[in-house]
Amino acid sequence: MNIKSFEKLVNERLTNLKEVPTNKSVATTIRRRRKELNYTQGEVSSGICSVSYLSKIENGHLEPENYYVQEIMSRIGIDNDEITNAVYIDHVEELISSLYYNEADKISKLFEEIKAKKPMNVLSAELIYLGKSVYFDELDQSIDLIKSINVVKKDLVDYELKVFMYFIALYESKHLKNKLALDYLNILLMLDDNDVNLITLVKILKGQVLTYLGEYVLATNLICEVERHLVNTMNLSRLIDVKLDYAYLLVLTGQVIEARVVLNKIKRYQHFETKILERYYYVLGWLYKREGDYEKAIKMFLNACSELYYESMSNIIECYFKLKNTKMLNEFLTMINENTAGERYKFHVKLSNYFSVKSNNHLYESKEFISRQLIPLMKTVKFKYYNDIFRYDLIEFHRSNGRYKEIDKIRRKM
């Protein structure tokens, strides 16, 4: 996917105020099937109508009862049962509302309801499938849906386009591709929209992304703004999530006392969902790690291993590295390497192996691992905290060899 194509599409919408036809299901189905069959418009329209007339059909300017539409559908093997003019905009809004309130059961129920109706090539329905997949971390299915919808994204109305870009940003952020996620969020914010729930979700995600990128002041301002809104709307589930975002930000910036105050406030809330509880332990583990209490940190990360396995395991290995406990480090390293990690967890696996290499106290091996394994990965994975660690290790290596020009190059990039 090319993010510039999204920027171009949004700019066209803003400049030309171009409306997307509501009769888009037929148009989308015909255009998709033609492209799947690798036919040109001339090949499909030959003997039926002109190419320009087929273009009108594919742009949704003709009703499905039209004789020529029916002939085109027949030629490329589309049954009437595959066509529905239903546009599930209301259901998309319902999905966003369920995401906003962290209502997993409602998301699953909505998905099953839409799936039971078997809508074919209805973009709003596909957005619901995508939202459910991203929310429940079904990321292999998510990328297939993203690719499918991306082909016909120009048929999305403005609201759907914003939702689509939000889901892409959420998907990319789950892979720690935070700069790319931020780009999508900034583009979608160019479009006007009155759905407060969607805007709030976008701001929550943007705050998380900015935190990873090290834009701590901007992230703090955004998180505090969102927190006030969630208090006013009494959205407790999302409020706890955002407070955990803020505590994590404070930990990353070394403000452990302030972070502990926030975590103590969160602790007062009762009936944590498992997902939120494990995230609480994960942030608390980070706090102990920053304080240098690695034994307590390990206990907290172990409590978070069900929902955040690779993230927690890489931190446990880092803690054993700090404790100079090579035996336990290698035991946990074997465990994480034995599990099949998808693309999403590639960074955490390499990070774990990095601490193993570093435990050998051989600067050259550490430098080679950073240069060959981690730096190429960090071109897409953006996590300032670890970026800084890797760069400081490279500086230490070059300093030990008197390569001060190399040190200057690294510092200029910081």
In this structure, what CATH number is given to the domain that contains residue 106? Answer: 1.25.40.10
* CA 265 to chain CA centroid, nearest Å: 28
Assess if residue 318 is contained within a domain: no
Tell me the per-residue pLDDT of 267-297, one tens digit each, with 9 for 90 and over.
Answer: 887 667 788 899 999 999 999 999 999 999 9
In this structure, what CATH number is given to the domain that contains residue 63? Answer: 1.10.260.40
Contact 266, 244 (CB under 8 A): yes
Q: What is the pLDDT of residue 121?
A: 52
- Type of residue at 272: F
Q: What is the pLDDT of residue 140?
A: 87
Do 93 and 76 sit in the same domain of this protein? no
CA angle 369, 375, 376 (to 5 degrees): 105
Give the whole-angstrom CA distance, residue 325 versus residue 161. 51
Do 413 and 348 sit in the same domain of this protein? yes
Q: What is the pLDDT of residue 67?
A: 81
Give the whole-angstrom CA distance, residue 282 versus residue 266. 13
The pTM score is 0.82
Query: What is the three-state SS of 302-341?
Result: HHCCCCCHHHHHHHHHHHHHHCCCHHHHHHHHHHHHHCCC
Q: With 70 as the cut, is the pLDDT of residue 84 above it? A: no
Mean pLDDT of the chain: 86
Choice among 97-106, 136-145, 277-286, 369-378 with the minimum mean pLDDT: 369-378
- Type of residue at 61: H
Do 76 and 100 sit in the same domain of this protein? no
CA angle 256, 260, 263 (to 5 degrees): 135
Q: What is the pLDDT of residue 227?
A: 94
Q: What is the pLDDT of residue 8?
A: 87
Q: With 80 as the cut, is the pLDDT of residue 193 above it? A: no
Q: Which of 196, 222, 254 is the last residue of a domain?
A: 196
Q: What is the pLDDT of residue 201?
A: 96
> What's the whole-number mean pLDDT along residues 314-338?
94
Do 189 and 96 sit in the same domain of this protein? yes
**Residue 177's pLDDT band (boundaries 50, 70, 90)?**
very high
Q: Which of 130, 162, 196 is the last residue of a domain?
A: 196
Q: What is the pLDDT of residue 182?
A: 96
Do 94 and 189 sit in the same domain of this protein? yes
Assess if residue 375 is contained within a domain: yes
Write out the two tokens for 388.
């800084």
Q: Which of 33, 61, 82 is the last residue of a domain?
A: 82
Do 402 and 350 sit in the same domain of this protein? yes
Q: End-to-end alpha-carbon separation of the chain, Å?
A: 29
Assess if residue 268 is contained within a domain: no
Do 98 and 177 sit in the same domain of this protein? yes
Assess if residue 301 is contained within a domain: no
Give the alpha-carbon dihedral of 220, 223, 229, 230, to 10 degrees: -140
Assess if residue 39 is contained within a domain: yes
Do 147 and 60 sit in the same domain of this protein? no
Assess if residue 103 is contained within a domain: yes
Domain containing 355: what range?
A: 335-414
Write out the two tokens for 92.
């998309």
- Type of residue at 351: L
Do 110 and 72 sit in the same domain of this protein? no
The total of structural domains in the chain comes to 3
Give the whole-angstrom CA distance, residue 64 versus residue 27. 9
Do 135 and 57 sit in the same domain of this protein? no
Q: With 60 as the cut, is the pLDDT of residue 23 above it? A: no
Tell me the per-residue pLDDT of 205-216, one tens digit each, with 9 for 90 and over.
Answer: 999 999 999 999
Give the residue with greater pLDDT, 376 vs 292: 292
Assess if residue 286 is contained within a domain: no
Q: What percent of the chain has pLDDT over 90?
A: 46
> What b/e string do you get for 55-72 counting C-beta neighbours within 10 Å, with b at 16 or more?
ebbbbbebebebebbeeb
Do 175 and 95 sit in the same domain of this protein? yes
Assess if residue 377 is contained within a domain: yes
Do 160 and 108 sit in the same domain of this protein? yes
